[in-house]
Amino acid sequence: MPINNNIFSVITARSGSKGIRDKNLRTLCGKPLLAYSIEASLACPEIVRTILSTDSLVMADIGREYGIDVQMRPTELARDDSRSEDVLRHVLMELEEQSLSPDSIVLLQPTSPLRTGKHLSEAISLYRKSNAGSCMGITESEHHPYKGLIDTGSGIKPLFSKEHMSAPRQSLPIAYRQNGAVYIVDTEKFLVHNTFYIEPVVFYVMPGKESIDIDCETDLVLSETYMRKMLDDT
């Protein structure tokens, strides 16, 4: 399998947000949340082109200020139930019209402000060495899924078993979750399978504090706290 050298990144940033109004434009340490994903992509030497997919004129202007490509997406791809897979497919169709065909795509969600260019370089290196179909950023689960409960419709029951519910955490296998910080896919395989989970998958493990996914006001406060501490330490 050839090494994927022609790598583009796609940043998905729509205007609507239920949890936090105008989330991708919220200021974090003096910059809009969106800016951190743009800066991470531009700081990664393996990424040769950065594309912002958005329905927001304000976010489009931010992207252009940074000198990256901007694609305006249709409203049907900017709803609450819009899938990132469909957004990426739209981007790839637009690129095809420009006679551009990346070997691989790095999908970046703007809700991961503590993900850096160094993280992206490490994930790409792992992806290349493994000859995987895709790479996914993960972090250790804060709450073990074996301790989880599920509403069955007839009552709340253990997700796995009552034995797991009472087992010491130290006796359980390490569990991970997707952190949403980075997805890398082989373009041709993505167009066939239409998923970011293309086997064989290689997983890039990130620390918990660098895996914050902005979903509520508390996440914003916590992210800014970590960022200010990192600035103080430098």
How high is the pLDDT of residue 2? 40
How high is the pLDDT of residue 190? 96
How high is the pLDDT of residue 234? 64
In a domain, 152, yes or no: no
DSSP classification of residue 50: E
In a domain, 166, yes or no: no
Q: How much is the pTM?
A: 0.91
CATH of the domain at 41: 3.90.550.10
The count of structural domains within the chain is 1
In terms of phi and psi (left: phi > 0; alpha: psi -120 to 50; beta: otherwise), the region of 129 is: alpha
In a domain, 167, yes or no: no
Q: What is d(CA 158, CA 162) in angstroms, rounded to the nearest whole number?
A: 6
Low-confidence ranges of the chain (pLDDT < 70): 1-4, 19, 234
In a domain, 172, yes or no: no
Q: Pick from 135, 147, 155: which is nearest to 206 by CA?
A: 135
In a domain, 161, yes or no: no
DSSP-derived 3-state class of residue 5: coil
Domain range for 65 is 7-140+177-233
